[in-house]
Structure 1
Amino acid sequence: MDGDFWAPPPDVSPPVPGVSEGYPGVSQVMSHGYFQHGGVTFPGLLYSPRSLEAAREFPVEDDDVFNVTYQKSGTVWMLEILSLIRQDGDPRWCRSVPNWDRGPWLETLLGLRRARANARPRIISSHLPVHMFPKSFFGSKAKVIYTVRDPKDVLVSLFHFARIFRPYRDPGSLGDFMDKFLQGDVPFGSWFQHVRGWLQLRGRENFFWISYEELQQDLRGSVQRLCSFLCHPLSPAALDAVVTNASFAAMSHNPMSNFSLSPGFILDQNRGPFLRKGISGDWRNHLSPEQSRRFDLVYRERMEGPPKNPSGDTKIPPGPPKNPSGVPKSGEDPQGTPKNGGDP
């Protein structure tokens, strides 16, 4: 990975249902309100061992659509897109119902309760790594849409988010926070393990992955491919409405989408907005050349070598996809052959 290119690893064989083998099942209490569960760190204010176990046992329906990301990778944006697709581009649902009710977070008890109560077909959001996802998903026809983002931008966005999100520890300096991020010593654990774990599902008919950068470069084309994956075709007018109402400007001004209604004990928005910039490449304004090079070295080690996780999977071959644009396309393998999620 250099300053202008990053990419997830190439396609790999899909995992067996026992992907969680080797992860501890017992939670361990940590200081400052953090605890560990399944080998991953969580803040205690919103999450608990009980909620995470309940998520693992969540009864998945075949028509469920899961919006999954590592944090700060486009979760809210994808939720807005999926909400608009479901309503054929009509923005009234997005303007009248908070996004945390439209696509509740699976790993919180409140989110679980809302997900169970929501009308089908349900949209459900999650930051969970694959080994902590509901067991029933792996034998279902439910669909997962996984959005992945340049990890340097994830780092910078998460740094700013940690400053306003009260359940998280103060991030300190960006340099100190980058050290913790690269070590996986942040809530929801390692970005590298999260991405590699989920991308093991590539090739399954009910799994679609897309990059944040691809959404930015071609939102209309991305929405078209999402609609194809979801078997929910839209008219040209409805497609235009989705693209218009899913823009960063539209979400920023929508109180049902911008988290301005979030209680003060959760978000301290006096220190900054939840929706900050919504751009790619902002890391260049924050990381020094030395920090960027060090990040690249860790990326190569974690993403191009065998995965360091208890499952022992070593099927991911070295080398990121070769893509002249610098942004991987979710519908192509490294040689440009259409894969699951691509245009038919």
Structure 2
Amino acid sequence: MEVVYTSNLDITGERILGSALEPCYLWFVLEFCESGDLNNYVLSRQLDQVIYASFLLQLTNAIVFLHKNHVVHRDLKPENILITEKSGVPVLKVADFGLSKVCATLTKKEEKINVNLNNFWLSSPCGSDFYMAPEVWEGKYTAKADIFSLGIIIWAMLERITFLDAERKREVLGAYVLQGTEARPIGKLMLENPKLELCIPHNPRTFMSQGVKQLLKDMLASNQKHRLDAFQLLNRVNKVIYGTSWPAKMDCFTFSGDSDTSYEDDNKKHSLGCLCKWLHMQQDKYDLNQRLLISTTILEIVSVSNKGLEGPPPIGNLF
């Protein structure tokens, strides 16, 4: 028996070749995600701001990875986002690539050239109704359709917005527009009325920071030309969570020797900010689980550092 290992980017696999006379079977061995999908996970427990921020970062980075490698998912929804907690923190896994599309296969020489995925036009309307961008309904769209789907998911996750899936008779995370007693897909209504104004937050009593409101609106722009691409989205998400004006000096760690670790607020603010920045810069040196632990640590530091201090905006600003 011959074993052939195949590798492409960070995706690795194994091909086992037997005798030519033996019947050929194709087996896919996938990781078991014991915590279920995003829909069940969010609706079955109370999540804090650090977890929401971590999910926002993980999902954004997942889409950046796909688009960087010229893959458009085309069916992003909570049921296609699986979760495992084997590392001690919830790790999201984007799944089900049955409708995905590879938009460019490049030679090694061409890989050095930046290819704009948003210049590749797709025409097959596919996906799940409540998460489909208006241009997908029309049949002329780009990778930015994934950003729209992600916007619907994130909005629904942050506010726990659900609708009833009539086919399976279950509650499902997803933002929508209510017309009478009927929940209508936002993308379909935007196709009918491109000037449709979204009420964010969905619940008037929900507090949501201006940064998050504008982020969602820019992800859900009816005109794909005005919608964020994956790389712009990552930049915006980092600004929403980590803030825009962190200290740059790395020589400002000033701690006293006493057990209470008492120090001036300015030094504390600068030290925590620099520590967060340093951790963020180190992430590329570690594997996925280690990076997630680092990200969670950063989020917790930012959250703690804002209790009574002026500095990077707290994670609580999501709401």
When the two structures are superposed, what TM-score results if normalisation uses the length of structure 2?
0.26
Larger Rg: 2
When the two structures are superposed, what TM-score results if normalisation uses the length of structure 1?
0.24
Q: Which structure carries more relative contact order (alpha carbon 8 Å, separation 6+)?
A: 1
